[in-house]
Amino acid sequence: MIIYTRYKFNGEVLFSRFINFEEIMDRKYSCLGQMTRVTIKGRKTYEGFADEPYLSNKGKCLTLIWYDIDYGTLGLRSGKVTTIFIPLDIIIGIESILHSNPRWGHPPINEFVFSSELRSRLMKLHEKYMQSEEKSRPKKIYLNFD
């Protein structure tokens, strides 16, 4: 059995329950497109955007995608992605964040973060941009004709 926890984007838990492998393959509890953290035996975790469950001759896997991100701007560097295949039989936990897909207007970062952390990062980028704009503007000169 796998523990599946789904969060709202603000970090509030929507539900947490035990699910079995068939419920993942049947997409009853789909995390498709959502930022997802998978914990495997040994407590190692993987984070990324969930893709379709994958059947191969080596077994059933949950797939996560990492985008090629420029973390200086929180934008895509390229259209390339890295796919991680995680066999279902070693998964002990799945967590996903509802409405975390970039299609909802959020930057496509490959980290499991909630809205407050993301907002903080975006504000730092905005402040950095505004400071660079301030430096590049010509200085105003005031003339006094008195």
Least confident stretch, 12-16, 19-23, 96-100: 19-23
144 vs 45 pLDDT, higher one = 45
| Rounded-to-integer distance, Cα 15 and Cα 28, Å | 14
Residue 76 has pLDDT above 70, yes or no: yes
Q: What is the pLDDT, as a whole number, of residue 97?
A: 92
Residue 57 has pLDDT above 80, yes or no: no
Per-residue pLDDT band at 139 (split at 50, 70, 90): low
Enumerate long-range contacts of 134-143, CB under 8 Å, 24 or more apart.
Answer: none
Least confident stretch, 39-48, 58-67, 76-85, 117-126: 117-126
The H-assigned helical ranges of the chain are 21-25, 115-136
| Rounded-to-integer distance, Cα 37 and Cα 114, Å | 12
Per-residue pLDDT band at 37 (split at 50, 70, 90): very high
Residue 72, Cα to own-chain centre: how many angstroms?
16
User: Domains along the chain?
Assistant: 2-136 (2.30.30.100)
Burial string for 45-65 (b: 16+ CB within 10 Å, else e) reads ebbbbbbebbeeeeeebbbbb
Residue 130 has pLDDT above 70, yes or no: yes
